[in-house]
Amino acid sequence: MIRETDAEAIRLAKTLMRSARFGALAAIEPGTGSPLASRVGAATDTDGTPLILVSMLSAHTGAILADPRCSLLVGEPGKGDPLAHPRITLVCRAVRLERGSGAHARAERRYLNRNPKAKLYAGLGDFSIFRLEPERASLNGGFGKAYLLDRADLVTTTPIVEELAAVEQSALDHMNADHRDAIAIYARHFAKAADDDWVVTGFDADGMDLASGDDICRILFPEPLQAARELRPVLVDMARTGRAAG
């Protein structure tokens, strides 16, 4: 049974998308029309659109260039029954970003912040970044928790996207260089995460992404940001709240 899409479902969907380091990409094989599935590394653009970095030598790259219709499944299983853990399938259209464009530079920056090991091959000529533009999605939050979502539920389209994109890297560099104690507080208090060596890998209107090695931590702001200038005071308030809680 499909449940009515509510704020909790949208929050879970966005968290799964933002937290994914990889996903299963399904494309249409040229010539045969058969489904072709493969694993790809993943990140998200500032607006929440999934990003992939793929080689032209890969079969799935040729498939999405020939037919941009595709889907991306994200959501890692944990202990026990893998079908009991949340996952989301996004129905998308793949858009290749032109190297040298502003959109490519932003996407590459965000992808490498999330997947730093990809710096070894991101600059090679046969690698391209694609935005997987979501059209709709099917969310399974666990047994008996199925939802259908549309693009408006998944992607942020307000002016804050460009505002945040313009200041994000300087904010990341500042936080990771000078405020690692605050980052540890965010992880411990708001995500109940262990005291590992966390760094911030991304800011968006809804929250921030933290990483410690291969571990990913998603933290939501108390309220979505309406303007980029709200980022600093929100971070200060969250650090103060976490410290007060001990």
- Per residue in 46-60, pLDDT (tens digit) is 999 999 999 999 999
- Using the predicted structure, report yes or no on whether residue 196 has a pLDDT greater than 80: no
Distance CA 180, CA 199 (A): 7
| Amino acid identity for residue 165 in this structure | A
- Using the predicted structure, report yes or no on whether residue 195 has a pLDDT greater than 80: no
Share of residues in the chain with pLDDT > 90 (%): 92
| Amino acid identity for residue 98 in this structure | E
The reported pLDDT for the residue numbered 2 is 94
- Average pLDDT of the residues of the chain: 96
Tens digits of residue pLDDT in 165-183: 999 999 999 999 999 999 9
225-240 burial, b at 16+ Cβ within 10 Å, e below that, comes to: beebebbeebbeebbe
> Looking at residues 27-35, what average pLDDT do you find?
96
Task: Give the pair of three-digit tokens for residue 36.
Answer: 């072709």
Rounded to two decimals, what is the model's pTM? 0.95
Which one has a higher pLDDT value, 91 or 196?
91
Residue-wise DSSP of 141-156 = -STT-EEEEEHHHH--
> Looking at residues 188-209, what average pLDDT do you find?
94
> Looking at residues 61-82, what average pLDDT do you find?
94
The reported pLDDT for the residue numbered 76 is 86
Which one has a higher pLDDT value, 80 or 146?
146
CB 202 within 8 A of CB 44: yes
CB 49 within 8 A of CB 92: no
- Using the predicted structure, report yes or no on whether residue 144 has a pLDDT greater than 90: no
Share of residues in the chain with pLDDT > 70 (%): 100
Tens digits of residue pLDDT in 80-131: 888 889 999 999 999 999 999 999 999 999 999 999 999 999 999 899 999 9
- Could you give the domains of the chain? 7-154 (2.30.110.10), 160-244 (3.20.180.10)
